[in-house]
Structure 1
Amino acid sequence: MIKRSVILALMAMTAPALAEMTADEFETYTEGKTLFFSLNGQDYGVERYRENRQVEWSFLDGECTPGVWYEQDGFICFAYEGWDVPQCWSFEQTPQGLIARFANASPGSPPASYLAYEKDEEMVCFGPDTGV
Protein backbone atom coordinates (compact mmCIF):
# COMPACT_ATOMS: atom_id res chain seq x y z
CA MET A 1 0.00 0.00 0.00
CA ILE A 2 2.78 2.45 0.90
CA LYS A 3 4.71 1.48 -2.23
CA ARG A 4 1.67 2.25 -4.39
CA SER A 5 1.22 5.65 -2.70
CA VAL A 6 4.86 6.53 -3.34
CA ILE A 7 4.58 5.53 -7.02
CA LEU A 8 1.39 7.60 -7.45
CA ALA A 9 3.03 10.58 -5.77
CA LEU A 10 6.07 10.31 -8.06
CA MET A 11 3.83 10.03 -11.14
CA ALA A 12 1.92 13.16 -10.11
CA MET A 13 5.18 15.08 -9.70
CA THR A 14 6.44 14.05 -13.14
CA ALA A 15 3.14 14.46 -15.03
CA PRO A 16 3.34 17.36 -17.44
CA ALA A 17 1.35 20.39 -16.36
CA LEU A 18 -1.07 21.87 -18.83
CA ALA A 19 0.51 24.86 -20.52
CA GLU A 20 -1.31 28.08 -21.24
CA MET A 21 -1.91 28.59 -24.93
CA THR A 22 -0.10 31.31 -26.83
CA ALA A 23 -2.09 33.67 -29.04
CA ASP A 24 -0.95 31.75 -32.14
CA GLU A 25 -2.00 28.42 -30.62
CA PHE A 26 -5.34 29.89 -29.58
CA GLU A 27 -5.94 31.29 -33.06
CA THR A 28 -5.06 27.98 -34.73
CA TYR A 29 -7.38 26.08 -32.38
CA THR A 30 -10.39 28.43 -32.51
CA GLU A 31 -10.54 29.98 -35.99
CA GLY A 32 -13.65 28.80 -37.80
CA LYS A 33 -15.09 27.10 -34.71
CA THR A 34 -18.04 27.77 -32.44
CA LEU A 35 -17.37 26.98 -28.78
CA PHE A 36 -19.86 26.66 -25.96
CA PHE A 37 -18.78 27.83 -22.51
CA SER A 38 -19.90 26.01 -19.38
CA LEU A 39 -19.30 26.34 -15.66
CA ASN A 40 -19.94 23.37 -13.38
CA GLY A 41 -21.52 21.49 -16.29
CA GLN A 42 -24.03 24.25 -17.13
CA ASP A 43 -23.73 26.04 -20.49
CA TYR A 44 -24.02 29.80 -20.21
CA GLY A 45 -22.59 31.18 -23.45
CA VAL A 46 -21.37 30.51 -26.96
CA GLU A 47 -18.76 32.19 -29.12
CA ARG A 48 -18.08 32.02 -32.85
CA TYR A 49 -14.47 32.57 -33.96
CA ARG A 50 -13.92 34.10 -37.38
CA GLU A 51 -10.91 35.16 -39.45
CA ASN A 52 -8.69 38.02 -38.33
CA ARG A 53 -9.51 37.42 -34.65
CA GLN A 54 -13.12 38.52 -35.07
CA VAL A 55 -15.63 36.94 -32.65
CA GLU A 56 -19.32 36.94 -31.87
CA TRP A 57 -20.56 36.21 -28.32
CA SER A 58 -23.98 35.26 -26.95
CA PHE A 59 -25.25 34.43 -23.46
CA LEU A 60 -27.52 31.84 -25.18
CA ASP A 61 -30.32 34.40 -25.31
CA GLY A 62 -30.27 35.00 -29.07
CA GLU A 63 -28.56 38.37 -28.67
CA CYS A 64 -25.12 38.26 -30.29
CA THR A 65 -22.38 40.80 -29.70
CA PRO A 66 -19.50 41.25 -32.16
CA GLY A 67 -15.98 41.77 -30.94
CA VAL A 68 -12.30 41.05 -31.42
CA TRP A 69 -9.71 39.19 -29.43
CA TYR A 70 -6.05 40.06 -28.89
CA GLU A 71 -3.10 39.02 -26.72
CA GLN A 72 -2.10 41.23 -23.81
CA ASP A 73 0.39 40.38 -21.06
CA GLY A 74 0.12 36.65 -21.82
CA PHE A 75 -3.69 36.63 -21.71
CA ILE A 76 -6.26 36.33 -24.49
CA CYS A 77 -8.48 39.40 -24.19
CA PHE A 78 -11.85 40.05 -25.79
CA ALA A 79 -13.25 43.51 -26.56
CA TYR A 80 -16.96 43.48 -27.43
CA GLU A 81 -19.08 46.29 -28.86
CA GLY A 82 -20.87 48.11 -26.04
CA TRP A 83 -18.81 46.56 -23.23
CA ASP A 84 -16.66 48.95 -21.21
CA VAL A 85 -14.00 46.50 -20.01
CA PRO A 86 -12.15 43.87 -22.04
CA GLN A 87 -12.50 40.30 -20.76
CA CYS A 88 -9.10 38.58 -20.40
CA TRP A 89 -8.56 34.83 -20.03
CA SER A 90 -5.91 32.16 -20.01
CA PHE A 91 -6.63 28.98 -21.96
CA GLU A 92 -5.29 25.45 -21.75
CA GLN A 93 -6.09 22.73 -24.28
CA THR A 94 -7.43 19.41 -22.96
CA PRO A 95 -9.07 16.41 -24.64
CA GLN A 96 -12.49 17.78 -23.55
CA GLY A 97 -11.90 21.26 -25.00
CA LEU A 98 -10.32 24.41 -23.61
CA ILE A 99 -10.06 25.17 -19.92
CA ALA A 100 -10.56 28.92 -19.52
CA ARG A 101 -9.64 30.94 -16.45
CA PHE A 102 -10.87 34.50 -16.07
CA ALA A 103 -8.02 36.95 -15.48
CA ASN A 104 -10.23 39.85 -14.37
CA ALA A 105 -11.69 38.06 -11.33
CA SER A 106 -12.42 40.17 -8.27
CA PRO A 107 -9.69 40.12 -5.61
CA GLY A 108 -10.35 37.38 -3.09
CA SER A 109 -12.70 35.42 -5.35
CA PRO A 110 -11.71 31.81 -6.04
CA PRO A 111 -10.41 31.15 -9.57
CA ALA A 112 -13.09 29.37 -11.56
CA SER A 113 -12.32 27.05 -14.43
CA TYR A 114 -14.66 27.15 -17.40
CA LEU A 115 -14.87 24.60 -20.20
CA ALA A 116 -15.04 25.84 -23.80
CA TYR A 117 -15.99 23.00 -26.11
CA GLU A 118 -17.59 22.14 -29.42
CA LYS A 119 -21.00 20.53 -29.52
CA ASP A 120 -23.52 19.62 -32.15
CA GLU A 121 -25.60 22.81 -31.85
CA GLU A 122 -25.74 26.02 -33.81
CA MET A 123 -25.17 29.48 -32.39
CA VAL A 124 -28.51 31.32 -32.52
CA CYS A 125 -28.63 35.08 -33.15
CA PHE A 126 -31.91 37.01 -33.47
CA GLY A 127 -32.67 40.65 -34.15
CA PRO A 128 -31.87 43.37 -36.64
CA ASP A 129 -28.15 43.51 -35.84
CA THR A 130 -27.34 39.92 -36.81
CA GLY A 131 -26.27 40.66 -40.38
CA VAL A 132 -26.43 38.30 -43.31
Structure 2
Amino acid sequence: MRTLAALLLLALPATAQEASLSPEEFAARVDGRTLTYHSGGAPYGIERYGPGRAVTWSFLDGRCLEGEWYPNAGAICFDYEDGTGPECWRFYDEGGRLRAEFVNDPDAPVLYEVEEAEGPLLCQPEVGV
Protein backbone atom coordinates (compact mmCIF):
# COMPACT_ATOMS: atom_id res chain seq x y z
CA MET A 1 0.00 0.00 0.00
CA ARG A 2 2.87 2.40 0.76
CA THR A 3 4.33 1.74 -2.67
CA LEU A 4 1.03 2.64 -4.33
CA ALA A 5 0.78 5.85 -2.31
CA ALA A 6 4.34 6.80 -3.23
CA LEU A 7 3.68 6.15 -6.91
CA LEU A 8 0.50 8.23 -6.83
CA LEU A 9 2.39 11.08 -5.20
CA LEU A 10 5.07 10.94 -7.90
CA ALA A 11 2.39 11.06 -10.59
CA LEU A 12 1.09 14.42 -9.36
CA PRO A 13 2.18 17.48 -11.34
CA ALA A 14 5.13 19.31 -9.85
CA THR A 15 3.01 22.32 -8.92
CA ALA A 16 0.62 20.13 -6.94
CA GLN A 17 3.52 18.98 -4.76
CA GLU A 18 5.06 22.34 -4.01
CA ALA A 19 3.68 25.30 -2.14
CA SER A 20 3.51 28.67 -3.82
CA LEU A 21 5.26 31.60 -2.17
CA SER A 22 3.34 33.37 0.57
CA PRO A 23 2.69 37.10 0.14
CA GLU A 24 5.47 37.79 2.64
CA GLU A 25 7.92 35.55 0.78
CA PHE A 26 6.94 37.14 -2.54
CA ALA A 27 7.40 40.67 -1.16
CA ALA A 28 10.81 39.76 0.25
CA ARG A 29 11.87 38.47 -3.17
CA VAL A 30 10.65 41.39 -5.31
CA ASP A 31 10.53 44.62 -3.29
CA GLY A 32 12.77 47.26 -4.85
CA ARG A 33 13.71 45.08 -7.82
CA THR A 34 13.03 45.19 -11.55
CA LEU A 35 12.74 41.67 -12.97
CA THR A 36 12.71 40.40 -16.55
CA TYR A 37 10.52 37.40 -17.34
CA HIS A 38 10.77 34.93 -20.22
CA SER A 39 8.37 32.28 -21.47
CA GLY A 40 9.40 29.41 -23.69
CA GLY A 41 12.91 30.85 -23.88
CA ALA A 42 11.69 34.17 -25.34
CA PRO A 43 11.43 37.56 -23.62
CA TYR A 44 7.93 38.17 -22.24
CA GLY A 45 8.00 41.29 -20.06
CA ILE A 46 9.59 43.27 -17.28
CA GLU A 47 8.17 44.45 -13.97
CA ARG A 48 9.39 46.98 -11.43
CA TYR A 49 8.28 46.30 -7.86
CA GLY A 50 8.15 49.52 -5.86
CA PRO A 51 7.24 50.46 -2.32
CA GLY A 52 3.77 49.79 -0.96
CA ARG A 53 3.12 46.96 -3.45
CA ALA A 54 3.29 49.37 -6.40
CA VAL A 55 4.25 47.81 -9.74
CA THR A 56 5.04 48.93 -13.27
CA TRP A 57 4.69 46.33 -16.06
CA SER A 58 5.89 46.42 -19.67
CA PHE A 59 5.73 43.85 -22.44
CA LEU A 60 9.14 45.25 -23.51
CA ASP A 61 7.47 47.48 -26.09
CA GLY A 62 8.15 50.79 -24.31
CA ARG A 63 4.60 51.09 -22.98
CA CYS A 64 4.15 50.72 -19.25
CA LEU A 65 1.19 50.04 -16.99
CA GLU A 66 1.14 51.22 -13.39
CA GLY A 67 -0.64 49.11 -10.83
CA GLU A 68 -0.44 47.30 -7.54
CA TRP A 69 -0.24 43.73 -6.31
CA TYR A 70 -2.15 42.12 -3.48
CA PRO A 71 -2.65 38.63 -2.04
CA ASN A 72 -5.90 36.80 -2.79
CA ALA A 73 -6.82 33.18 -2.05
CA GLY A 74 -3.25 31.89 -2.11
CA ALA A 75 -2.32 33.84 -5.24
CA ILE A 76 -0.64 37.16 -5.99
CA CYS A 77 -2.98 39.39 -8.00
CA PHE A 78 -2.05 42.44 -10.06
CA ASP A 79 -4.48 45.26 -10.81
CA TYR A 80 -3.27 47.68 -13.49
CA GLU A 81 -4.48 51.12 -14.51
CA ASP A 82 -5.90 49.86 -17.83
CA GLY A 83 -8.97 48.51 -16.00
CA THR A 84 -8.81 45.00 -17.45
CA GLY A 85 -9.28 43.57 -13.99
CA PRO A 86 -6.98 41.64 -11.74
CA GLU A 87 -4.56 39.04 -13.08
CA CYS A 88 -3.71 36.42 -10.47
CA TRP A 89 -0.59 34.27 -10.44
CA ARG A 90 1.02 31.73 -8.18
CA PHE A 91 4.75 32.25 -7.73
CA TYR A 92 7.21 29.46 -6.94
CA ASP A 93 10.90 29.30 -6.15
CA GLU A 94 12.72 27.62 -9.01
CA GLY A 95 16.41 27.35 -8.24
CA GLY A 96 16.53 30.77 -6.60
CA ARG A 97 14.47 32.45 -9.32
CA LEU A 98 10.74 32.98 -9.65
CA ARG A 99 8.36 30.87 -11.71
CA ALA A 100 4.88 32.33 -12.25
CA GLU A 101 1.78 30.36 -13.24
CA PHE A 102 -1.43 32.14 -14.20
CA VAL A 103 -4.28 31.06 -11.94
CA ASN A 104 -7.32 31.46 -14.20
CA ASP A 105 -5.97 30.03 -17.45
CA PRO A 106 -4.01 26.77 -17.40
CA ASP A 107 -3.05 27.35 -21.06
CA ALA A 108 -1.39 30.69 -20.31
CA PRO A 109 2.39 30.68 -20.62
CA VAL A 110 4.49 29.94 -17.55
CA LEU A 111 6.83 32.84 -16.83
CA TYR A 112 10.36 32.49 -15.54
CA GLU A 113 12.47 35.19 -13.91
CA VAL A 114 15.58 35.53 -16.04
CA GLU A 115 17.46 38.49 -14.66
CA GLU A 116 17.30 41.60 -12.58
CA ALA A 117 17.54 44.79 -14.62
CA GLU A 118 20.46 46.98 -13.65
CA GLY A 119 18.97 50.25 -14.83
CA PRO A 120 15.56 51.86 -14.56
CA LEU A 121 12.51 50.59 -16.43
CA LEU A 122 12.21 52.76 -19.55
CA CYS A 123 8.67 53.85 -20.41
CA GLN A 124 7.78 55.92 -23.45
CA PRO A 125 5.15 58.61 -23.07
CA GLU A 126 1.81 58.09 -24.79
CA VAL A 127 1.81 60.18 -27.97
CA GLY A 128 -1.41 61.74 -29.27
CA VAL A 129 -3.47 60.78 -26.26
TM-score range, shorter chain: 0.7 to 0.9
Partner of 2:21: 21
CA contact (8 A) 1:34 1:46 kept: yes
Q: Distance in 2 between matches of 1:33 and 1:52?
A: 13
How far has the Cα of 1:57 moved from its partner?
0.3
Tell me, in whole angstroms, the C-alpha distance in 2 between the residues paired with 1:49 and 1:74: 19
Partner of 1:117: 114
Q: Whose Rg is larger?
A: 1
| Structure 1 residues 10-44: Cα deviation after superposition (integer angstroms, max 9, x where no partner) | 9x95xxx5421000100010001111111101011
Structure 1 residue 92 displacement after superposition: 0.4
2:28 and 2:57 mapped to 1: Cα distance? 19
What is the root-mean-square deviation in Å for CA atoms of aligned residues? 2.4
Give structure 2 stretches of 5+ with no counterpart. 1-5, 11-16
Mapped contact 1:60–1:124 kept (Cα < 8 A): no
Q: Give the TM-score normalised by the residue count of structure 2.
A: 0.77
Residue 49 of structure 1, CA deviation:
0.2
Q: Structure 1 stretches of 5 or more lacking a match?
A: 1-8
Could you report, residue by residue, the CA deviation over 1:70-99 in whole angstroms, capped at 9, with x for unpaired residues? Answer: 000110000000132210000001225111
TM-score by length of 1: 0.75
Relative to structure 1, is the Cα distance of residues 120 and 27 closer, same or farther in structure 2, using a 3 angstrom cutoff? closer
Aligned length: 114
